[in-house]
Amino acid sequence: MSTNTPIRVVLADDHAVVRTGIRQFLEMAGDIQVVAEAEDGRRAVLALQQHRPDVAVLDIQMPEMTGIEVCRWVRANLRATGVLILTAYDDDPYVLAVLQAGANGYVLKTADAAEIVQAVRTVYEGKSVLDPSVARKVMAHVRGSAQSGPVERLSDRELEVLALAGRGFTNKAIAVQLGISDRTVQGHLAKVFDKLQAASRTEAVMRAVSLGWLSSDLGELAEE
């Protein structure tokens, strides 16, 4: 993959050796530039404020502020920046907290270099990416919540908006695709999150998949 403008990344991990390794294979890809590194969460926020990167690559366990706290800060302050969590932890509480904080991706450090590079590109494109083991945990969680009580059916337009969100479309792109305003898209997504009791696009999409309302490729409405 080659672009005229490289994907600008801020990389935060409290282990210098790990940061060096990740930086090397990200920049070897040719279309990614690590514009800053941080060894703790507070410095990560400072670097994010200064550089406003395309993607923040964050570990979960860091001094000062966790990757989850940094992710919440990014979602509140830098809406255009994608967040990729790159961690050794796949425990359920971490997975759910990260997705509820609004992360776009969750990849384990056991992934190979090519998978991590592709994850950065995918997040940059506005799409979600989950390690397969993490995706299984999320699906188990949404299935469990689905059994806790009935869920109000989404309208046809809400399903259309959610299907496009699952394919990585931004609110603006969804609005153009459906011929509606950005504000209307936001309103539809708010209703979707409320009906599905979801805290993020990823959780909402996977909940809709588990209910059979969207197909498992996340990009199409399921057949009635």
How would you write the pLDDT of the chain (224 residues) with one tens digit per residue? 444 789 999 999 999 999 999 999 999 998 999 999 999 999 999 999 999 999 999 998 899 889 889 998 998 898 889 899 888 876 666 777 777 777 888 888 888 899 999 999 988 988 778 776 666 666 555 555 544 556 788 898 998 888 888 776 778 888 888 999 988 998 998 898 888 877 777 778 777 776 777 765 544 444 43
Quickly list DSSP for the chain.
---SSPEEEEEE-S-HHHHHHHHHHHHHTSSEEEEEEESSHHHHHHHHHHH--SEEEE-SS-SSS-HHHHHHHHHHH-TTSEEEEEES---HHHHHHHHHTT-SEEEETTS-HHHHHHHHHHHHTT--EE-HHHHHHHHHHHHHHHTTS--PPPPHHHHHHHHHHHTT--HHHHHHHHT--HHHHHHHHHHHHHHHT-SSHHHHHHHHHHTTSB-TTSSSBPP-
In this predicted structure, what is the pLDDT of residue 224?
Answer: 38
Measured CA to CA, the distance from residue 98 to residue 159 in angstroms comes to 24
Measured CA to CA, the distance from residue 45 to residue 43 in angstroms comes to 5
Placement of tokens 């923040």 in the chain: 56
The count of C-alpha atoms lying within 13 angstroms of the C-alpha of 48, restricted to the half-sphere facing its C-beta, is 29
Enter the tokens of residue 157: 């337009």
Determine contact, residues 152/195, Cβ cutoff 8 Å.
Answer: yes
In this predicted structure, what is the pLDDT of residue 136?
Answer: 62
Domains annotated for the chain, with CATH where assigned, are 7-131 (3.40.50.2300), 150-210 (1.10.10.10)
